[in-house]
C-alpha cells in the first residue's frame, strides 16, 4: 500500500500536468509571457553575447513552472478531497497531506512559487532596469528567500525540535541555535542553483532525478508522505519536461525554480540528508560553484576568466557543444549522482 501511495500521486501529477499544459500554453502565448528586453549582465564578453539574448530566448514564455506547481496542487487536493468524500482505509491511506510531514514543505513550495511568479511578471510586463534583471532586483530576491528561510528554520527549531544534522558515516552533529543560520545558508545555496534554468530541458531533466532520489530516501526513512510528495513533484517536472525538450515550448522561470529549490532544501532537512544534497544534486552544485568561482576570480585576478562563460553549462556551449549535447550529458550526470546519493544514504 505504501508503494501505491507513492506511485499514484507521481503518475497522477504527470497526467494532470500533461492535460493542463495545452490550456496554459495557449494562455502564455496569447499574452506574450516572455521577456521584453535582453539580459543585462556584468559579463560583456563576445561568448556571452553569442549565447544569450537569442530570438528563441526572447520569444519563449518564462512561466512554465506554473505547470509543475499547479499539477502538484491539483493532485494534493484531489487525493485529499477523495479521502474526505469517500472515507475508507484505502483513501485515507493514500492521502499524503499531513501536518507532521508535508504541511511545511507544501507551504514553502507554494509560497515560493507565488513569489517567483511575481518576479516573472515583473520581468515580463515591467520596464527599465527591473525588467532586465538588474542586480538590485536579484538582491531583493535573495532577501525574500532569506525571509522564507528564517520563517521555516524557526519552525524547524522550535516546533519540530530540529537542532542537529546527520553526518554520513559519523552520526549527528549537534548545532543548537546555530541550526537556524545553517538552515538559511543551505536554502540560499540551493536557491542559487536556479541559474541552471538556461537551456531547453536542462533544469527539468536535472531536477526530476533529484526529487526521485529524495522520494526513495524518504521511503527508506519511513517518511511515506514526504516520499509521495517528492514523487508528485517529480511527476510534475516530468510533465513540464514532456513539452520542454528542444525546442522548448516554455521556460521554467522563477515561479518554478524558486519553488523547487526552496522545497528541495526543506525536504533535504526533513529526511536528515542535507549534507548529501551536493552529491545527490551534483549538477546543481557544480553549476552554482562555477558561477561563484567565475565572479571572484574575475574580481580579484584582474579580469581573468576560469570559464569562457559562467554558469558551467554555458561554458560548454562556448566550447562548441550543441545545446542538446549539454542538456543530455547534464541529465546523465544527474541520474548517476542521484543514484550515488541514494546508495550513500542506504549504507551510511
pLDDT given for residue 55 in this prediction: 61
pLDDT given for residue 46 in this prediction: 59
10-residue mean pLDDT profile of the chain (348 residues): values are 90 97 93 70 55 64 94 96 92 91 95 92 74 67 92 94 92 94 94 81 93 96 96 97 86 93 96 95 92 88 85 88 91 96 91
Query: How many domains does the chain contain in total?
Result: 1
Q: Which of 135, 76, 78, 144 is nearest to 111 (CA)?
A: 144
pLDDT given for residue 153 in this prediction: 96
pLDDT given for residue 130 in this prediction: 58
Backbone φ and ψ of 81, nearest 5°:
-65, -40
Name, in order, each residue with C-beta under 8 angstroms of 211's C-beta and a sequence gap of 6 or more: 230, 231, 233, 234, 237, 260, 264, 267
115 falls within a domain: yes
pLDDT given for residue 125 in this prediction: 82
pLDDT given for residue 57 in this prediction: 65
Which three cell numbers, joined as nine digits, stand for 191?
A: 536557491
pLDDT given for residue 38 in this prediction: 58
328 falls within a domain: no
CA 36 to mean position of chain CA atoms: 24
294 falls within a domain: no
291 falls within a domain: no
DSSP secondary structure code for residue 76 in this structure? H
pLDDT given for residue 134 in this prediction: 58
Query: What is the span of the domain harbouring residue 148?
Result: 2-277
pLDDT given for residue 37 in this prediction: 62
pLDDT given for residue 54 in this prediction: 58
Name, in order, each residue with C-beta under 8 angstroms of 169's C-beta and a sequence gap of 6 or more: 348
Amino acid at each position: 500500500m505504501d508503494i501505491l501511495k507513492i506511485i499514484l500521486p507521481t503518475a497522477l501529477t504527470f497526467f494532470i500536468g500533461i492535460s493542463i499544459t495545452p490550456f496554459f500554453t495557449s494562455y502564455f502565448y496569447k499574452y506574450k509571457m516572455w521577456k521584453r528586453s535582453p539580459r543585462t549582465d556584468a559579463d560583456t564578453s563576445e561568448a556571452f553575447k553569442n549565447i544569450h539574448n537569442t530570438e528563441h530566448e526572447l520569444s519563449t514564455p518564462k512561466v512554465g513552472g506554473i505547470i509543475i506547481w499547479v499539477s502538484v496542487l491539483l493532485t494534493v487536493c484531489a487525493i485529499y478531497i477523495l479521502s474526505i468524500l469517500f472515507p475508507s482505509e484505502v483513501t485515507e491511506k493514500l492521502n499524503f497531506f499531513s501536518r507532521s510531514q508535508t504541511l511545511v514543505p507544501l507551504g514553502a513550495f507554494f509560497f515560493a512559487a507565488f513569489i517567483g511568479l511575481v518576479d516573472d511578471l515583473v520581468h515580463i510586463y515591467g520596464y527599465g532596469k527591473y525588467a532586465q534583471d538588474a542586480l538590485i532586483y536579484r538582491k531583493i530576491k535573495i532577501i525574500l528567500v532569506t525571509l522564507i528561510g528564517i520563517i521555516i528554520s524557526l519552525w524547524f527549531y522550535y516546533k519540530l525540535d530540529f537542532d542537529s544534522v546527520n553526518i554520513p558515516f559519523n552520526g549527528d552533529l549537534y548545532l543548537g541555535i546555530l541550526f537556524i543560520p545553517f538552515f538559511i545558508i543551505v536554502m540560499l545555496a540551493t536557491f542559487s542553483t536556479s541559474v541552471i534554468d538556461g537551456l531547453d530541458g536542462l533544469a527539468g531533466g536535472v531536477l526530476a532525478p533529484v526529487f526521485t532520489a529524495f522520494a526513495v530516501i524518504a521511503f527508506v526513512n519511513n517518511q511515506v508522505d514526504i516520499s509521495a510528495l517528492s514523487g508528485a513533484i517529480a511527476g510534475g517536472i516530468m510533465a513540464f519536461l514532456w513539452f520542454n525538450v528542444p525546442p522548448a515550448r516554455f521556460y521554467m522561470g522563477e515561479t518554478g525554480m524558486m519553488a523547487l529549490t526552496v522545497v528541495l532544501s526543506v525536504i533535504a532537512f526533513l529526511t536528515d540528508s542535507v549534507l548529501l544534497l551536493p552529491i545527490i544534486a551534483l549538477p546543481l552544485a557544480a553549476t552554482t560553484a562555477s558561477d561563484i568561482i567565475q565572479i571572484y576570480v574575475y574580481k580579484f585576478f584582474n579580469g581573468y576568466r576560469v570559464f569562457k562563460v559562467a554558469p558551467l553549462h554555458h561554458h560548454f556551449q562556448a566550447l562548441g557543444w550543441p545545446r542538446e549535447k549539454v542538456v543530455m550529458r547534464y541529465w546523465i550526470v544527474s541520474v548517476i549522482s542521484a543514484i550515488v546519493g541514494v546508495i550513500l544514504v542506504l549504507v551510511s
